[in-house]
Structure 1
Amino acid sequence: MAERKHGLPAPETVSTVHTEDWDQGVGERDRHERVAFVGLDLCEATLRNVEFSDCTFRNARFNCAELADVAFVNCTFTTGNFFDATFADCKLTGSMFDRCTFELMTVTGGDWSFVGMPGADLSRASFTGVRMREADLTGVRYRNGTLRDVDLSAAWLHGADLTGCDLRGSDLSALDPAVTEVRQALISASQAVVVAMALGMRVVED
């Protein structure tokens, strides 16, 4: 299992929920704390205004699920499937993803600060207008992906592959081109100044 930032352990859970439990009433609750969800099938489900705190999701399937204003605070996702899942204005601060798949996942708005996604393949995922301050994106593969208007301040980007990625409007103050692959990435002129300064260059007017 990938380590959480700073080596912190995953929160301990005090109860376990399976798909049958979810279908029999657990899924109607608007708050879940320190619950281990095992093999949960939320394919094509719609979740709104639900809060999960210090929960663990093992082998959960969120395929084609639509989530709006849902909070996953300090949660852990292990071998989860997020194929074509949609997150709108969701809060995932402090959550950790380990060996999950994100093909065609779409994230718009919301707060994903301090999230951990080291080594994730995000090449066919899209993040727009998302807050990802101090996110652990070490070694992520995001070739030709979309990271538009994303707050990446203080994010961990060492070893990330952002080749051909659309980074327009995003905060690139934490980007070090010496340790992050950014060939053919799409940025604006103002962002180019930030990148040049990260390389130690001095930017002056003509």
Structure 2
Amino acid sequence: MSTNTPASAPPPVPPSPLREVIRSQDWYGQDISDRRYSHHAFIDVDMTEVTNEGAVFDHCTFRGVRFNVSRHSGAAFTNCTFSHCVFFDTRFADCKLVGSLFQQCTFSLFEVSGGDWSFVGLPGADLRKASLRSVRMREADLTGARLEGADVTDVDLSGAQLHSANFIRCDLRGSDLASLDPLTVELGRATVSLEQAAVLVTALGLHVA
């Protein structure tokens, strides 16, 4: 596993206004489906192998939380902050994470399919070999993110911040690359479609005769 090291400092924990702090609890293997939390802080909570279908977390803070082997489907984590959390073999399917921020988190065997991750902040995130499929990530911040060998197919990256991102050996087929400046990212051995190649050539100011 690898840990990202964004330059920005971790956000204050917990957020304000705060309703409750849930600290050092063991939620191992629990089914948290359909629970609702707003303005809560989760600190050093073990959510390993948690099952989550439809739970809602709004304006919550997660610090030092372990999401290992957890499964989240149709859930919402809106405007949340994840700091120093661990995502090992974690899967999100058709979830909504609009406006959420990840800082100094660890990702391994990380999978996201479907859902809305628009305006998500993942600056400097180490997402090597992650799977991000059919996700809406409009205006997401992927500045300096590492996506070597990742599967980033059919992803809506319109308006995304991609400066200094690493897409080496990344599968980008079907994704919106209109916001990608090939001069400011690494694309060596990335896989793209012919249509996407035309977009990249145009971004380089070249004309195909």
Alpha-carbon separation, structure 2, partners of 1:13 and 1:3: 23
Q: Give, in angstroms, the shift of residue 40 of structure 1.
A: 1.3
SS at match of 2:92: strand
Give the whole-Å Cα distance in 1 for the aligned partners of 2:106 and 2:17.
23
Does 1:152 find its partner at 2:174? no
Q: Distance in 1 between matches of 2:206 and 2:102?
A: 36
Counterparts of 1:114 and 1:165, CA distance in 2: 22
Q: CA 1:10–1:191 in structure 2 vs 1: closer, same or farther (change >3 Å)? A: farther
Give the deviation of 1:125 after TM superposition. Answer: 1.1
In structure 1, the residue matched to 2:103 is 98
Partner of 2:16 in structure 1?
A: 12
4+ long deviations beyond 6 Å: none
Amino acid at match of 2:67: F
CA shift for structure 1 position 107: 0.5
More strand by share: 2
The alignment covers a number of residue pairs equal to: 200
1:165-184 counterparts in 2 under 5 A? Answer: 165-184=170-189
Describe the superposition over 1:47-88 as per-residue Cα deviations: whole angstroms up to 9, x where unpaired. Answer: 011110000000000000000011000000001001000100
Unaligned runs of 5+ in 2: 1-5
Higher relative contact order (CA 8 A, sep 6+): 2
Give the whole-Å Cα distance in 2 for the aligned partners of 1:200 and 1:154. 19
The one-letter amino acid of 2:204's match is: L
**Percent of pairs with identical residues:** 49
1:138 aligns with 2:143: yes
Please name the residue that 2:68 is paired with.
63
The 10-residue stretch of structure 1 (129-138 or 9-18) with the greater mean CA deviation from structure 2: 9-18
- Cα RMSD over matched residues? 2.4
Q: Which of 175, 196, 199 lines up with 2:201 in the alignment?
A: 196
TM-score (structure 1 length as normaliser): 0.90
Taking the aligned partners of 1:53 and 1:184, their CA distance within structure 2 comes to: 39
Gaps of 5+ in 1: none
Once the two structures are TM-superposed, the CA of residue 102 in structure 1 deviates from its matched residue by 1.1
